[in-house]
Every structure is written in C-alpha cells, then in structure tokens.
C-alpha cells in the first residue's frame, strides 16, 4: 500500500487559506503604497538622512538574518556616481565604511553601505563639544590610517571633513563619501577644484595645480584643530572672508592644546604644500605615539588572497550545500561587481568573523552551522525593479 501524507483537517485548510489571504493583502498594500519598502534583498527601515544626492535609509539584509546596512539613494544622472562606486568598491580597510552592493533601478542607483550607529563626527562634536586629547589621538590616528590607505591605492579623497567621518558603536572611525575621489599618478599635479571651502588648501583656492597628498593633509590639519578646539580654524559667515583667512591668516592656538598637537597642526597647515608632512610622518609624529604605530601595522599587513582562509572555505561549502552556485559567487567577488551575490558574501563573511571573535573571547570553538534556505529561487538573488517585493523568498543565514 502506497504511503502518503495524511489529509489535512478542515481547521488546517482554513488556517492555510487565511495565511494565503493575509500574504496577498500584504503584497497589495505594498504595491499600492507610495513608500518604498524593499530594494533588492533589503528591507528599508527608517529614513536617517537626506541631501541633494537623495535619501539615506537604515536597511536590513533578508538573507543574513537581517544584518543592518545603510542604503543611500542617488539619481542616475549624478556625474560623480560612477567614479564614487569605482573607487569605493576597491577600498577594504578597518576605518573605511564598506560598500557592499550597488542596486540599479529604473531611475535610481542604491549604494548599500556599512551601518555605523555612532553618528557623524560633526554631530558627535556638536553634541559633546571639543574632545579630550586622548580621544583625539585615537580618532585622528585612525583617520590618517584610512587616508594613507586611500593614497596607497593612488587615489585622493579631496573632501575630507567631519561630515564624511562616521563612528561605529565603539567610536572607531569609518571614512565615507568618495564622490570627489579620483586616481592620480605620483608627482603629477591635479587641477580640479572640489571639496568644501573651509577645509580647502590655499593652492586649491588660488586655482593652482596641486599635489594630491598635500590637499588631503591640509584637510587633516583642519580636522585635528577642530577636534581639539571645538570649532573650525577658518570659518567666517562670508565665504570670501573664509578664503582670505585660509590664504593669509593663521589659526588661533589655545592654551589647553598640547604642544605636540599644535606642532603637528602647524605642519599640516603649512601654506607651502611642499612643507606638509607625508602620511607616514604624521603617524610617526610624537603626538600620535600611542596610536600611530597600530595604524602603520594595519597598513603593513598583506591581506590573504580571496577565499583562502578556513572561514571562507567553510562558508563556501555551506553555501554549496544550500544549493548556491559558488562558482558564480567567486567570479562576482573577484570581479568586484558589487552585485547581490557579492554583497551577500561580504555581509555573511563579516557576520561569521564577528561570531568567530565572540567565540574566541568566550574560549569556545563551535563549528559553523548550516545555511538555511527555506525558499530561495534564483531570481531572488538578482536586483529587482524599484518598488517590487520578494514575495516568496525566506532565507536566513
């Protein structure tokens, strides 16, 4: 006698119908809502910022048990967008906010970025006032380490300012916003003016050609002064007066400022760009003696080849067991495509690394658990048109 599933009771059938009706109603509500709630594999949360570029939302990645991310929208016609994506996707550093994925819809481009809950450095300074020198030493060392890494990639940021420096939950620096970044050749001068006036170097304001590293070093000097004093060194209500002060004036140095900090600021704010120190010299400066060496050590590390660590190999095997085509995952990650598979991989690896660190702290050595894919059709791993929803995909890693 053939065996089969027992027939469902009337109550079970009714329950299934109610569940199906509720699911349809949820979809109809989402389709008719003017507010976007899903982009790709991400659920949009609250709006956390807006600007001329678009809006910024808190989001959750549905395939990694709701890993938190930030989704930044931008219009397709933004002239700096392609360059920002091209450069940002190559930057993987502990003090640079990670770009996980790029989602293209009919009218918008969405950047999926690392979530940093600790506020912008500007907001942090407004809330807390000038910072104590120990905190400044740590924050500034991390920032210089990140900028040094960018220049080691032969790129210049050109918009270093407090608003483009985020803090994570441990108040570690995460540099962001690479809209004005461009590559450069060593010893070749640049000539495009960009950035924010009160952080701009004199040679840039004068319309002269400039050394890439020197304009970023000037901005670092402005930031260091601001962290210690609580106000910008060159900032007037009239922009023309601000420019004049940058070109001809000197900051006011206060009695509470450490002597070594003043010395470093003066070096960074040298009117002659050739007198400004390089990044290695800044990290070696006596003022940063407590934290500079750690940043130099990070810069000296050669990262292992992709997919070569045990954690990565184990994660790949778990994905294969869950039915994922890992050859495509590897291909997309190596090509830096920043698509849905590469974004999923990056978020999953970060999650497993955090788990590994916690287990190491607790003295445990647990094996990685399986990846659970309840329903994961291939289309759910592809970017979807704006406003569409992922109706049947429920995945948890």
131: tokens are 């910072």
Q: Which carries the bigger pLDDT value, residue 107 or residue 246?
A: 246
Domain 121-300 superfamily per CATH: Transferase(Phosphotransferase) domain 1 (1.10.510.10)
Does residue 16 have a pLDDT over 60? yes
pLDDT (0 to 100) of residue 352: 92
Q: Is 159 a residue of the active site?
A: yes
- Catalytic: which of 35, 78, 119, 159? 159
Does residue 79 have a pLDDT over 90? no
236: tokens are 């007037």
Largest CA distance in the chain: 97
pLDDT (0 to 100) of residue 18: 75
Rounded to whole angstroms, the Cα distance separating 339 from 40 reads 10
HSE toward the beta carbon, residue 242, CA cutoff 13 A: 15
| Local confidence band at 5 (pLDDT 50, 70, 90 cut-offs) | low
Residues 6+ positions from 65 with CB-CB distance below 8 Å: 351, 396, 397
pLDDT (0 to 100) of residue 363: 53
Q: Which of 43, 52, 92, 95 is nearest to 71 (CA)?
A: 43
**C-alpha pair distances (Å), 105 with each of 36, 171, 381:** 12, 34, 15
Q: Which of 382, 342, 368, 371 is nearest to 92 (CA)?
A: 342
Q: What would the pLDDT profile of 195-232 be if each residue is shown by its tens digit?
A: 999 999 999 999 999 999 999 999 999 999 999 999 99
pLDDT (0 to 100) of residue 80: 83
338: tokens are 């920043």
Does residue 132 have a pLDDT over 80? yes
Q: Which of 153, 135, 31, 21 is nearest to 91 (CA)?
A: 153
Q: Which carries the bigger pLDDT value, residue 2 or residue 275?
A: 275
Does residue 283 have a pLDDT over 60? yes
210: tokens are 């400039």
230: tokens are 């609580």
76 is in an annotated binding site: yes
Domain spans, the chain: 38-115+312-396, 121-300
Average the pLDDT over each of 92-106, 279-293, 336-350, 360-374 and give the range with the smallest value: 360-374
332 is in an annotated binding site: no
Q: Which of 177, 180, 293, 268 is nearest to 218 (CA)?
A: 268
203 is in an annotated binding site: no
pLDDT (0 to 100) of residue 368: 44
State the Cα torsion 155-160-166-170 to the nearest 10°: 80
Residues 6+ positions from 202 with CB-CB distance below 8 Å: 218, 246, 247, 271
| Inter-axis angle of helices 259-268 and 212-229, nearest 10 | 150
Rounded to whole angstroms, the Cα distance separating 97 from 11 reads 51
119 is in an annotated binding site: no
Q: Which of 87, 145, 88, 157 is nearest to 300 (CA)?
A: 145
Does residue 191 have a pLDDT over 90? yes
177 is in an annotated binding site: yes
Q: Which residues of 365-397 are buried (b: 16+ CB within 10 A; e: fewer)?
A: eeeeeebebeebeeebbebbebbeebeebebeb
With vertex at residue 288, the alpha carbon angle to CA 285 and CA 289, rounded to the nearest 5 degrees, is: 85
Does residue 31 have a pLDDT over 50? no
What is the pLDDT averaged over residues 100-104?
A: 96
Beta bridge pairs of residue 165: 175
Does residue 334 have a pLDDT over 80? yes
161: tokens are 């300012």
| Inter-axis angle of helices 310-321 and 340-362, nearest 10 | 120
Beta bridge pairs of residue 114: 69
pTM score of the predicted model: 0.82
Same fold across 38-115+312-396 and 121-300? no
What is the pLDDT averaged over residues 80-107?
A: 94
Classify domain 38-115+312-396 by CATH number.
3.30.200.20
């Amino acid at each position: 006698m053939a065996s089969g599933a027992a027939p469902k009771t009337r109550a079970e059938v009714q329950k299934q119908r109610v569940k199906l009706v509720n699911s349809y109603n949820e979809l109809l509500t989402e389709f008719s809502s003017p507010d976007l709630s899903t982009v790709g594999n991400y659920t949009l949360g609250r709006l956390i910022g807006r600007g001329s570029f678009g809006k910024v939302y808190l989001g959750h990645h549905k395939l990694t048990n709701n890993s938190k991310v930030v989704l930044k929208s931008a219009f397709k016609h933004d002239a700096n967008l392609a360059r920002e994506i091209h450069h940002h996707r190559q930057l993987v550093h502990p003090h640079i906010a990670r770009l996980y994925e790029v989602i293209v819809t009919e009218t918008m481009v969405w950047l999926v970025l690392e979530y940093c809950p600790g506020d912008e450095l500007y907001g942090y300074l407004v809330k807390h006032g000038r910072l104590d020198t120990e905190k400044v030493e740590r924050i500034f060392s991390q920032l210089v380490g990140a900028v040094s890494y960018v220049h080691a990639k032969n790129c210049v940021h050109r918009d270093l300012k407090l608003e483009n420096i985020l803090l994570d939950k441990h108040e570690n620096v995460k540099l962001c916003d690479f809209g004005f970044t461009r590559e450069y050749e060593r010893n070749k001068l640049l000539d495009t003016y960009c950035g924010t006036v009160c952080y701009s170097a004199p040679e840039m304001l004068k319309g002269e050609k400039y050394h890439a590293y020197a304009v970023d070093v000037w901005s670092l000097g402005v930031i260091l002064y601001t962290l210690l004093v609580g106000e910008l060194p060159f900032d007037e209500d009239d922009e023309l007066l601000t420019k004049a002060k940058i070109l001809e004036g000197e900051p006011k140095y206060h009695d509470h400022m450490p002597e070594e900090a003043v010395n470093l600021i003066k070096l960074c704010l040298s009117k002659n760009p050739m007198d400004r120190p390089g990044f290695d010299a800044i990290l070696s400066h006596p003022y940063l003696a407590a934290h500079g060496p750690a940043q130099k050590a990070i810069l000296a590390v050669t990262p292992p080849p992709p997919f070569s660590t045990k954690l990565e190999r184990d994660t790949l095997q778990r994905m294969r067991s869950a039915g994922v085509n890992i050859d495509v995952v590897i291909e997309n990650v190596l090509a830096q495509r920043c698509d849905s598979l590469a974004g999923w991989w990056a978020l999953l690896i970060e999650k497993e690394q955090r788990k590994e660190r916690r287990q190491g702290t607790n003295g445990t050595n647990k094996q990685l658990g399986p990846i659970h894919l309840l329903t994961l059709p291939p289309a759910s791993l592809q970017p979807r048109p704006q406003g569409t929803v992922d109706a049947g995909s429920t995945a948890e890693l």
